[in-house]
Amino acid sequence: MVYENPDGIRIGLEIHVQLNKLKTKMFCGCSSDYHNAAPNTHTCPICLGLPGTLPVLNKKAVEAAIKVGLALEGEIAEETQFHRKNYFYPDLPKGFQVTQYDFPIVGKGKVVIEGEDGEHVVGITRAHMEEDPGKLVHIGSIEKSKGVLIDYNRSGMPLIETVTEPDMRSPKEARRFLDKFRNILEYLDVFDGNLEGAMRVDANVSVHWGTRVEVKNISSHKGVERALLYEIMRQKNVIRRGGKITLETRHFDEGRGVTISMRTKEEAEDYRYFREPDLMPMRVTDWIPAIRETLPELPDAKRARFIEQYGITDMHAKALTSKIMLADFHESICAQGVDPKIAATWTADVLLGELNYRDLVIGADVQGYAIICYNQKNPDIVRHIRVNDMVELVTFFAEGKISDRAAVEVIRSILDSKEEKTPLQIIEERGLLKAESDLVTMAVEETIAENEAAVQDYLGGAEKSLNFLVGQVMKKTKGTADAKTARELILKELKG
């Protein structure tokens, strides 16, 4: 099957990624750990752009850029160098941004994604290093701003901007590209995607192979799909009404899910790039062999190994390698001798599904011990999921001591409670061990099915009918069931 791309959609992305795993900023020793700090407490004369200062490049930032370049199968430039991009905006204290222009550190590369019709190659045009501007907070909306507050804590943070070819043919492909890209960066350990502002995306999109429109300010990788769906619909509507698409820049309003035309400037953008005289050019290709040595196993390679080594399905391997911390978690579980296939099912299908349902994302891990998840909407909700607990649970299940349903209940209970209980504690507390509980559950189900009239009576308000139903369950289990448990199970079943 070949994807026809009926609407002639072309999408290219420009992705800004903060190298937030570095300890310091790009050109000064200010700490990069500013995310919970008061404004303007992580700055110095260099990142405030005061006169007479001399920026010096963070070596680790260059190493990280080369790492990213190699992971994208990109060419690393023989000689690379910084430029000044001149424009006035209050988030730039110097009046220019230090970036790279015609000598980017990374040239042509590629990323393979799962496209509309199977494997699909997205070309990387280039990737370059630059500094992050400060953060602006508009008083009121961006359109009706009454003034702007500036915090320079972010100013001078090291960024890598990656530019793709317009190779994506649907918003879904754009999201998949970003998921893959983000995953690769996390594998490389240069980037923590959970921090605010860690990844910012601009997209250019055109329909019917026509004029492209740039959509700016997409702040999350989930926002990309929404922004592009809206923008494609808008362009198609304009064309349907006989209008024309003009080259323009639009702003994505995440709250409303729409793109808004930015007022076109009367003057064309003219950045007057010139070489940054304060920073010396670099010749770093001799670093490549040593850096290549440090490259971790990347997602595709790990996925292939998981299938091979653990005998699991491609779907499970893909899910488990979609995040490095999850992949490590799975390997730690398997290292304790449980059946890898069963472990994969419980982690990839059940655990991931239940996390997702609760808006819980994996934010950190203690390798070999636990993954730490937090709620995206309410970061105060934090859950530790321990390797040992998964091992215990999978073992109980594999030995037939608990049912499918009970195992799911254990996982849910771990995720729903602040108290850190082990699966064994939960199983004992809730009487989930198969023999007795299964009999009771079965008896409850049968009783309800066989006593339609009594069930209706109870639902109609006749409390007494409940006692009758409990009696039936006791009879069926020959009195071994606990009456209270039976009662609770019936109520659960009827409500449920």
Partner 1 sequence: MITKEDVEHIGWLARIEISEQETVEYMEKLNSVLEYFGQLDELPTEDVVPTYHVAEIYNVFREDIVEECLPQETVLANTEYKQDGTFRVPKIG
Contacted by 150, from partner 1, Zn ion, none: CB < 5 to 8 Å by type: partner 1
**Residue 145 Cβ vs partner 1, minimum distance, rounded to whole Å:** 4
CB-based contact 477:447 (threshold 8 Å) = no
Secondary structure class of 70 (helix, strand, coil): helix
One-letter amino acid for residue 409 of the chain? E
CB-based contact 441:404 (threshold 8 Å) = no
CA distance 362 to 352: 10
Q: Does 284 bind partner 1 (CB under 8 A)?
A: yes
Q: Does 47 bind Zn ion (CB under 5 A)?
A: yes
Tokens of 230: 């809206």
Pick from 410, 461, 472, 412: nearest CA to 490: 472
Sheet order of strands, 96-99 included: 96-99, 83-86, 274-275
The nearer residue to partner 1, 137 or 462, going by C-beta atoms, is 137
Q: Does 44 bind Zn ion (CB under 5 A)?
A: yes
**Residue 276 Cβ vs partner 1, minimum distance, rounded to whole Å:** 10
Q: Does 217 bind partner 1 (CB under 8 A)?
A: no
**Residue 315 C-beta-side C-alpha neighbours within 13 Å:** 4
Of 28, 319, 393, 490, which lies in the binding site for Zn ion, with binding defined by CB under 5 A?
A: 28
Burial class of 108 by CB neighbour count within 10 A (0 to 12, 13 to 18, 19+): middle
86, β-bridge pairs: 96
CA distance 378 to 359: 9
Restricting to residues 135-154, which ones interact with partner 1 according to CB under 8 A? 137-138, 145-152
The nearer residue to partner 1, 20 or 321, going by C-beta atoms, is 20
Q: Which stretch binds Zn ion (CB under 5 A): 44-52, 180-188, 326-334, 400-408?
A: 44-52
**Residue 272 Cβ vs partner 1, minimum distance, rounded to whole Å:** 7
Contacted by 238, from partner 1, Zn ion, none: CB < 5 to 8 Å by type: none
CB-based contact 412:346 (threshold 8 Å) = no
The nearer residue to Zn ion, 28 or 98, going by C-beta atoms, is 28
SS3 annotation, 311-328: CCCHHHHHHHCCCHHHHH
One-letter amino acid for residue 324 of the chain? I
The nearer residue to partner 1, 139 or 315, going by C-beta atoms, is 139
Q: Does 267 bind partner 1 (CB under 8 A)?
A: yes
User: Considering CB under 8 A, how many residues would be counted as binding partner 1?
Assistant: 50
> Going residue by residue from 14 to 43, which x/- string records binding to partner 1, judged by CB under 8 A?
--------xxx---xxxx------xxxxxx
Q: Does 289 bind partner 1 (CB under 8 A)?
A: no
128, β-bridge pairs: 161
Q: Does 61 bind Zn ion (CB under 5 A)?
A: no
**Residue 293 Cβ vs partner 1, minimum distance, rounded to whole Å:** 19
What residues have CB less than 8 Å from 51, skipping those under 6 apart?
none
Q: Which stretch binds partner 1 (CB under 8 A): 105-113, 252-260, 280-288, 391-399?
A: 280-288
**Residue 97 Cβ vs partner 1, minimum distance, rounded to whole Å:** 15
The nearer residue to partner 1, 147 or 479, going by C-beta atoms, is 147
The nearer residue to partner 1, 40 or 220, going by C-beta atoms, is 40
What residues have CB less than 8 Å from 275, skipping those under 6 apart?
81, 82, 83, 84
Contacted by 322, from Zn ion, partner 1, none: CB < 5 to 8 Å by type: none
- Compute φ and ψ for 341, nearest 5 degrees: -70, -45
- The sign of the torsion formed by the CA atoms of 450, 452, 457, 458 equals positive
Contact positions toward Zn ion, by CB under 5 A? 28, 30, 44, 46-47
The binding site for partner 1 (CB under 8 A) comprises 22-24, 28-31, 38-45, 48, 56-62, 81, 86, 88-90, 137-138, 145-152, 263, 267, 270, 272, 275, 277, 279-284
